[in-house]
Structure 1
Amino acid sequence: MDSILRAEGVDLFYGTFQAVRSADFALERGEVAAIMGSSGSGKSSLLYCLAGVLPPSSGQVVFDDIELGALPDGELSALRRERLGFVFQYGELLPELTVQENAALPLRLAGISKDHADAVAAQVLGRLGLGDLLRRRTSKLSGGQSQRVAVARALVHRPDVVFADEPTGALDSANAETVLNEFLHLARRQKTAVVIVTHAPEVAAKADKQYTMSDGVLTQRVTV
């Protein structure tokens, strides 16, 4: 298969504390991978290494044959902005912007005109059931609606990989199921690979590939 992202022997230290221990990871184009573990297991730290947000203390992360650690800061920031997407547990939306403006933000940052960015954002939001809320302020949204906007923002520019850190952790079970299904359906439809960090087995079960993390050690799960 065609790899889009891999980690080789990644270690991450915070001072003298080792959060990630010799992690190896591989993600194919269009694949969904879940990293499951309890709080403090190191899974979010590994996610930020994979996304180029934190440089590993040793080892390497390679995205589309580009070693992230070898990129100057400006090029790394541009790569994250243009080719990666992010979904966080609490959405992290900008309250001063509308639903449509939040979703269109990656396109606007890439220099796309407002009219075109708004049109693309409206299309993606419509696929997530938010087509009638385009001009609503995000402060007026429910938790499930806010997370759908966050999903739209992460996918609107058709990134190669979306990194999702507990994307349904703040939702009740019914909303979590719905949002996750819509997220993964849209990602697979546009062939965007996804890395999901989660503590929930029911979330990890929806992935094509599952890893577990404990005390900084990453292990791939063999599913039958």
Structure 2
Amino acid sequence: MDAILCAEGVDLFYGAHQAVSSADFALQSGEVAAIMGSSGSGKSSLLYCLAGVLAPTCGSVSFDGIAFATLDDDELSTLRRERFGFVFQYGELLPELTAEENAALPLRLAGQRKAPALAAAGEVLGRLGMTDLLQRRTSQLSGGQSQRVAVARALVHRPAVVFADEPTGALDSANAAAVLEEFLRLARDQGTAVVIVTHDAAVASHADARYTMTDGILAREGAS
């Protein structure tokens, strides 16, 4: 089966500093991959290259056979908005909006009307145990609840790939385990592929494929 997301020989420099060195990566539809590494190892920089947020200095990244380098800025933005989802360590929610409104944002940005967008968001939030909190502003939610909203927002438009940067890093162990389990269950139900960047071996243990990043060098666990 061809990879839906593929990176070949990716280098990324910040000035004279090389954050990513000759990284190769492949992700199948429905697969969960974890990239482990300590702070400063380059794992988040690689994630942003894989997501089309940063352009690599050398090498190529492609999605569904289309190289990011062949797309203009508008085309790449549309790809990220419509086919990708994002979960960040601190949620990055809009505090003036309700949980339901935050989760519905990808659908609203894609032009869907408010009522069906909110209904779809409410359905995903319900599967994440948030039915009673749909109308609560996210500024009034706990850390675990906020991260569930972030997960719903990432998955509501049924993206092909979700990129998660330390998605449970701001949570205690109990909340982290619960959010991660629900996130991956829902992603797998939808056939969504997931790339998780983490420093936590317990998080990485849920992945189908595990990579380690050390000083910008990516290695797949079990590869010869």
> What TM bracket, shorter-length normalisation?
over 0.9
Residue 102 of structure 2: aligned partner: 102
What SS does the aligned partner of 1:132 have?
A: helix
Residue 20 of structure 2: aligned partner: 20
| Paired amino acid for 1:144 | G
| C-alpha distance in structure 2 between counterparts of 1:102 and 1:222, whole Å | 39
| C-alpha distance in structure 2 between counterparts of 1:176 and 1:57, whole Å | 34
What SS does the aligned partner of 1:170 have?
A: coil
Residue 72 in 1 paired to residue 107 in 2? no
The normalised TM-score by structure 1 is 0.99
Residue 144 of structure 1: aligned partner: 144
| C-alpha distance in structure 2 between counterparts of 1:2 and 1:18, whole Å | 29
How far is the alpha carbon of 1:3 from its aligned partner? 1.2
| C-alpha distance in structure 2 between counterparts of 1:2 and 1:171, whole Å | 35
| Paired amino acid for 1:54 | L
How far is the alpha carbon of 1:23 from its aligned partner? 0.1
The normalised TM-score by structure 2 is 0.99
| Paired amino acid for 1:124 | V
| C-alpha distance in structure 1 between counterparts of 2:213 and 2:17, whole Å | 16
Q: Any unmatched runs of 5+ in structure 1?
A: none
After superposition, the C-alpha distances for 1:70-116 in whole angstroms (9 at most, x for unaligned) are 21000000000000000000000001110000000000000001011
What SS does the aligned partner of 1:177 have?
A: helix
| Paired amino acid for 1:36 | M
In angstroms, what is the RMSD of aligned CA positions?
0.7
| C-alpha distance in structure 1 between counterparts of 2:175 and 2:125, whole Å | 17
What SS does the aligned partner of 1:115 have?
A: helix
Tell me the number of residue pairs that the alignment of Structure 1 and Structure 2 aligns: 223
Residue 197 of structure 2: aligned partner: 197
How far is the alpha carbon of 1:222 from its aligned partner? 1.4
How far is the alpha carbon of 1:182 from its aligned partner? 0.2
| C-alpha distance in structure 2 between counterparts of 1:2 and 1:24, whole Å | 15
| C-alpha distance in structure 1 between counterparts of 2:206 and 2:25, whole Å | 18
